Structure 1
Amino acid sequence: MSDIRRREGSKGVTYQVRYPSAAAKTGYAYKTFRTMKEARAFRDKHVVTPGSAPLDTSIRTLTQAINLWLDICEKEGRDGRDPVTAYTLATYRRRAEIMKDYPWQKTLGDLQTPDVVAFRSWLLRTYSRDLARKTLTSFHAVIKEMAMRGHIASNVAASVAIRAESRYDEPIVIPTPEEVARLLAAADRLANSTNRQTARTWQRYRPILYLAADTGMRPQEYLVVARKGLVEGGIHVTRALERGSRKISVTKTPAGRRFIDLSPETYDMVRHYADHHAIENKYDLVFLTDTGKWLDTDNWRKRGFYKACIEAGLVDEATDEDGKAILTPRFSPYDLRHFYASMLIEQRVNFKRMQKLMGHEDVKTTLNVYGHLIEKVERSSEERFGMLSRLPRNSCGNSVADTV
């Protein structure tokens, strides 16, 4: 079985491939590369030499490998992680059926990179690009797991990918500070409404809206914040709703576990609500329904956030199929997350700190989503002059370009 190890030394970061070798005393040989791409290319071409450690051939077909991978995801967790959630497992099972539908011509042990390329072509011709990419990603996980457990010599799928078409190709629309201020002012008015039912509803929705704008948390995170997470003027993010709002689970990724400082106004508002209005409940929720459960994300969006948008005048006019004018909210709850990120960028928070606060597992995600905002802020602070103005001046005070 081959693997790649990241090393840091006097020469910087290198990538070491460990692969079976009959000539080595330990049974393994090592080769170091400057880039991960070179290391993967070497590993993918590597074949097991005679005399190397024997493979476990108990898993012979792709169907057996896929079923084993699903079982590992459900009961053990992949690569030292926690077992996946029920929702994620259901998603993996749907992708597994697609993988099994492909007419594989070879056994698991005979699989080579060209076979995976043919599988990729079939996916792209049969399904949407997005579903094909996600299914191929899961197939990568299957083959990687089989390689790690010694059922195959190496991950022959590692170099075969489908380039993602970013959902952020078009710049995201972000509320301005003035628009967010209008949204919060609308929440203040609704919480102080003369209509008792409206005031009671917004007694809960108001701190939720402030918390969303002040932290950049995902809706599925701030709707299930724990009372014990409110400490030291901030909030610990430790859990989230699964999609569909059916179950409280862990955050989207391990990186989602984080601590975010709150403005004093928001902290006092949320703390006051937790201490004086939140009833005792087995989930330790700050915000909960009268039945003692968490809020549904769809209900919050439609009855809470959209109501505040309408109250603040943050709506756009459109027409339906019958030609009637209808008002649509200009923003969605998730746009407050983008607003928070834009404020971090304006404050010139460094990338790694921003990645941590946003709960992104990889800083590349942060840069892919908000790179255009970072460039905008950098451009606004640059001096505006052409490159020729940087050329040295001659003794007469003229540019060297003028002496030709």
Structure 2
Amino acid sequence: MAKVRKRTLPSGKTVWLADYTDVSGQRRFKQFDKKSVAEDWLTKVKRDVQLGTHVADSASLTVKEAATLWLAHCADAGLERSTRDAYKQHVDLHIVPFLGAKKLSQIGTPAVHAFADELVKEGRSPAMVKRVIRSLGSIFVEARRRGSVATNPVSDARVKVGDRRKSARPEIPSKPDLRAIIGAAAGKHRALILTALFAGLRASELRGLRWSCVDLKKGVVSIRERVDAWGEVGAPKSAAGERDVPLAPMAINALKEHRLATPNGPDGLVFPSAEGTALNHQNIINRIWKPLQIAAGLFTLDPERKDDDGNPIKVAKYNFHALRHAAASLFIEQKLSPKRVQTLMGHSSITVTFDTYGHLFEDADADQAAVAEIEARLLQ
């Protein structure tokens, strides 16, 4: 029978011992300084034991131990390397330093909120805090699957970080800037830039694109593979990543010229390196994309940094992913449906499409026409 009893320690200090039997039938004890605290705790434990959701502190894993098991599970599940590395950073840099020694059973929803607040105080960005909290929730999910914890306190947490009214929108190059980029794209890299712009492919998909997946007669590229940041060939980011994307005439012509000028390497890559292997991502950024923007006049000067001649460093205006955002904005401008945009962009769900580009689907004129029609129908 569960009860609270008084106990005097050898030192003479009086404590209160909560005595109960857990769901496995094993007798457990927990010590408290105050009788009222012990009784409140035991009341909750008795309820959890009846529901079969109690895990004793002594049988619970620490957050660090559970995180290690979760990362191993991610590897076994075949998650891509960049995702696993990001999760490991969440664990090593953010979760373990604050919560690593704590038992899973000792963390409740208030502790999750306190953890999020502490991350903010330590200078983590709102976006990073949200990602870390999601990873913490996944740690609890895996621990619960293993029977190491009864509940997931993160699922009940409502972490609010920063001003939610200020949603982050992707940086999309203006049309004058896009025309400048097209004008500066010349030579052997023109096809790469135009394919990225008009098809909206991810950098990894461009690097893994093979001629066998390019139909220049139909003007379609088929995305079936990608090359990650470590040069490993694999399937697209998600099942939705496998798709067929139409090409603009300018991109088709550039690819035709590129096909004639590019040696057919052993891997049949459309955009190979000089050795015939997949291009290195950083080389695309540093040797192709940044110089192209500087040539197009799309840069700012950083007075804090100097080149070898003592001149301010030129900083390119856009990252390479901005070309993908530009493609999405052009699809939407042509009144393609959200579902079609999702398909062409290879998004895993329509939610991703709306979260990223929802503001571009807004049509103020159509909204005004709609409310005017509502008024007319109401008053007729």
Normalized against structure 1, the TM-score is what?
Answer: 0.66
- 1:143 Cα deviation after fit: 0.4
Give 1:158's aligned residue: 155
- 1:365 Cα deviation after fit: 3.1
Distance 1:328 1:391, change over 3 A: same
Whether the 8 Å CA contact 1:258–1:357 is kept in 2: the answer is yes
How many aligned positions are there? 325
Can you list the C-alpha shifts for 1:288-317, whole angstroms capped at 9, x where unaligned?
Answer: 112222222333233323444344x44356
Please tell me whether Structure 1 or Structure 2 has the larger radius of gyration of its CA atoms: 2
- 1:112 Cα deviation after fit: 3.0
5+ long unaligned stretches in structure 2? 1-22, 24-46
Whether the 8 Å CA contact 1:208–1:223 is kept in 2: the answer is no
Quick check: 1:293 aligned with 2:290?
Answer: no
The one-letter amino acid paired with 2:333 is E
- Separation of aligned partners in 2, 1:117 and 1:108: 15
Structure 1 residue matching 2:208: 3-state secondary structure? coil
Quick check: 1:338 aligned with 2:325?
Answer: yes
Quick check: 1:117 aligned with 2:113?
Answer: yes
Distance 1:347 1:168, change over 3 A: farther
5+ long unaligned stretches in structure 1? 1-21, 23-46, 78-82, 191-201, 396-404
- Separation of aligned partners in 1, 2:273 and 2:165: 34
Quick check: 1:87 aligned with 2:82?
Answer: yes
Can you list the C-alpha shifts for 1:356-404, whole angstroms capped at 9, x where unaligned?
Answer: 22222343332233233222xx114555799699469999xxxxxxxxx
- 1:216 Cα deviation after fit: 1.1
- Separation of aligned partners in 2, 1:127 and 1:300: 32
The one-letter amino acid paired with 1:69 is W
Give 2:136's aligned residue: 139
Give 1:64's aligned residue: 65
Distance 1:229 1:154, change over 3 A: farther
Quick check: 1:233 aligned with 2:228?
Answer: no
Quick check: 1:213 aligned with 2:197?
Answer: yes
- 1:181 Cα deviation after fit: 3.9
Whether the 8 Å CA contact 1:230–1:271 is kept in 2: the answer is no
Give 1:365's aligned residue: 352
Whether the 8 Å CA contact 1:314–1:330 is kept in 2: the answer is no
Distance 1:388 1:105, change over 3 A: same
The one-letter amino acid paired with 1:120 is A
Pick from 246, 249, 264: which aligns with 1:261? 246
Structure 2 residue matching 1:154: 3-state secondary structure? coil
- Separation of aligned partners in 2, 1:249 and 1:163: 36
Whether the 8 Å CA contact 1:226–1:285 is kept in 2: the answer is yes
Can you list the C-alpha shifts for 1:76-120, whole angstroms capped at 9, x where unaligned?
Answer: x1xxxxx22333333322322332333567633454323333333
Structure 1 residue matching 2:198: 3-state secondary structure? helix
Whether the 8 Å CA contact 1:224–1:285 is kept in 2: the answer is yes
Quick check: 1:251 aligned with 2:246?
Answer: no
- Separation of aligned partners in 1, 2:313 and 2:118: 43
Pick from 316, 320, 333: which aligns with 2:303? 320
Can you list the C-alpha shifts for 1:260-287, whole angstroms capped at 9, x where unaligned?
Answer: 12235534543563476243234x4221
Can you list the C-alpha shifts for 1:140-162, whole angstroms capped at 9, x where unaligned?
Answer: 11101122333333322212253
- Separation of aligned partners in 1, 2:379 and 2:149: 70
The one-letter amino acid paired with 1:151 is S
Distance 1:94 1:389, change over 3 A: closer
Map 1:193-208; keep pairs closer than 5 Å: 202-203=187-188, 205-208=189-192
Structure 2 residue matching 1:289: 3-state secondary structure? coil
Distance 1:128 1:295, change over 3 A: same
Pick from 125, 128, 134: which aligns with 2:124? 128
Distance 1:154 1:316, change over 3 A: closer
- Separation of aligned partners in 1, 2:54 and 2:346: 42
Distance 1:356 1:48, change over 3 A: farther
Q: Give % identity.
A: 22
Structure 1 residue matching 2:226: 3-state secondary structure? strand
Distance 1:170 1:349, change over 3 A: same
Whether the 8 Å CA contact 2:62–2:101 is kept in 1: the answer is no
- Separation of aligned partners in 2, 1:107 and 1:170: 35
The one-letter amino acid paired with 1:210 is L
Normalized against structure 2, the TM-score is what?
Answer: 0.69
Whether the 8 Å CA contact 2:61–2:104 is kept in 1: the answer is yes
Structure 2 residue matching 1:320: 3-state secondary structure? strand
Whether the 8 Å CA contact 2:223–2:242 is kept in 1: the answer is yes
Whether the 8 Å CA contact 2:63–2:101 is kept in 1: the answer is no
- Separation of aligned partners in 2, 1:64 and 1:218: 36
Which of the two has greater helix per residue? 2
Distance 1:179 1:380, change over 3 A: farther
